Amino acid sequence: MNENKEFKLEALVEPLCLWYEKEKRSMPWRDDATPYHVWLSEIMLQQTRIEAAKAYYDRFTKCLPDIPSLAAVSEEELLKLWEGLGYYNRARNLKRAASLLVERYDGRLPADYDLLLSLPGIGRYTAGAIASIAYGLAEPAVDGNVLRVTMRYLNCDEDIMKMSVRTKMEKQLRAIMPKDCPGEFNQALMELGEVICIPNGKPLCEECPLSHLCLAHKEGREMELPKKAEKKKRRIEKKTVLVFRQGDRIGIVRRPNQGLLAGMWEFPSKEGHLTMQQVKEYLSETVSCEVTVKRLKSGKHIFSHVEWHMRGYEIILPEGKPQDVVHGLLLCDLSEVQEKYPIPVAFHIFLHQI
């Protein structure tokens, strides 16, 4: 990042803050910006669109209105509240951090950047957001939106995936951010990146309060920036999902407590795509009763590093209590599964076909 461009950043402060004061959107976590609400919203928004996060945020804060209630909730209830948001370690880290806050800080988030950074699940961006928005501390909060805005503004070709680039931008923003309203400044940069200086499409430069200062816009390079290294291709995993049903009950099993979707509930599955005949052969070896097998609509789910391509079958069990159908299989009423057990979104396509 060219050091002689640093002075350019200071020029954006006033027009950016004036624009934000006029145009900022109403958000539930902005309208009641307690430290807990800021923390929760920032964690939810890490991998979730704002509109989708609102409903989860409202439900979550009604059930768990403060840090002590978050610390006390069972993991199963927590994951059920989080169901559909994905990246479930975010929820587990919230609970771990809440437990530490109850133990060490009387159930409150500390007004200290370094102490915030020491909590599970809180990185530099989230610590900066909480510190600035909730406590008025002059700490930057640099996420993808902020990097996109600043790289275009400075016409900078450096790779935003490099930690060194993020660190330099944090340093430069810390030097120029207004000390009387650092939270508003951080949110203004984020907001500009979300609604005006957008990715994967043409930025709305004609509506941007910084277009007259933006170096990339002056040179017609806004579509080229920011630069970032290509991500590795996701690997594809093929699975066969087996939905056991007995009357109004369906069978679920719990995933291991480590790894992807740890501790959540799912339908039993086998690696690879099994044909109807292969499924029947498998069942004849493992189930000691006559069953009916039906093909379900296939599904695909994309995680950050892997894609699941899933073929589904419904296995209808006779009334009674078949023994040893699948190890650990729990037969529950469909309504109970929907209300109580956290089922990953990956399996909802099969859940909705029952």
pLDDT, one tens digit per residue, over 129-143 is: 999 999 999 999 999
Same-domain pairing of 42 and 88:
yes
229 within domain boundaries: no
Residue 230 placed within a domain: no
pLDDT at 343 over 90: yes
Identify which of 264, 134, 314 has the alpha carbon closest to the alpha carbon of residue 126.
134
pLDDT at 11 over 90: yes
CATH assignment at residue 103: 1.10.340.30
pLDDT band at residue 264, thresholds of 50, 70 and 90?
very high
pLDDT of residue 7: 59
Do residues 126 and 143 make contact, with C-beta atoms less than 8 angstroms apart? no
286 or 111: whose pLDDT is higher? 111
Q: Which of 155, 188, 218 is the last residue of a domain?
A: 218
Rounded CA separation 147/225 (Å): 10
pLDDT tens-digit map of 95-111: 999 999 999 999 999 99
Please, which residues have CB within 8 angstroms of residue 74's CB and are 6 or more apart in sequence? none
**Chosen domain end from 188, 218, 248:** 218
In a domain, 144, yes or no: yes
Whether residue 241 sits in one domain with residue 208: no
pLDDT at 322 over 70: no
Q: From CA 26, how far away is CA 264, in angstroms rounded?
A: 34
Q: Is residue 57 part of a domain?
A: yes
Domain count, the chain: 2
Domain-embedded: residue 224: no
Residue at which a domain ends, from 218, 250, 266? 218
Over the range 44-76, which residues count as b (16 or more CB within 10 Å of their CB) and which as e? bbeebeeeebbebbeebbeebeebbebbebebe
Residue 228: inside a domain: no
Calpha distance 209→150 (Å, rounded): 13
Same domain, 202 and 84: yes
* pLDDT at res. 183: 97
Report the pLDDT value the prediction gives residue 327, as an integer from 0 to 100. 77
pTM of the model: 0.85
Same domain, 18 and 71: yes
- Among candidate residues 104, 13, 90, the one with its CA nearest the CA of residue 57: 90
Whole-number Å distance between alpha carbons of 28 and 50:
11
> Is residue 227 one of the residues assigned to a domain?
no
Q: What is the mean pLDDT of residues 33-53?
A: 94
- DSSP assignment, residue 132? I
The pLDDT value recorded for residue 347 is 95
Active-site residue 42, yes or no?
A: yes
In this predicted structure, what is the pLDDT of residue 172?
A: 95
Boundaries of domain holding 247: 235-351
Check whether residue 205 and residue 239 sit in a common domain: no
Helix axes 35-44, 50-63, angle to 10 degrees: 130
CATH number of the CATH domain containing 263: 3.90.79.10
Q: Which of 10, 14, 42, 77 is catalytic?
A: 42
End-to-end CA distance of the chain: 55
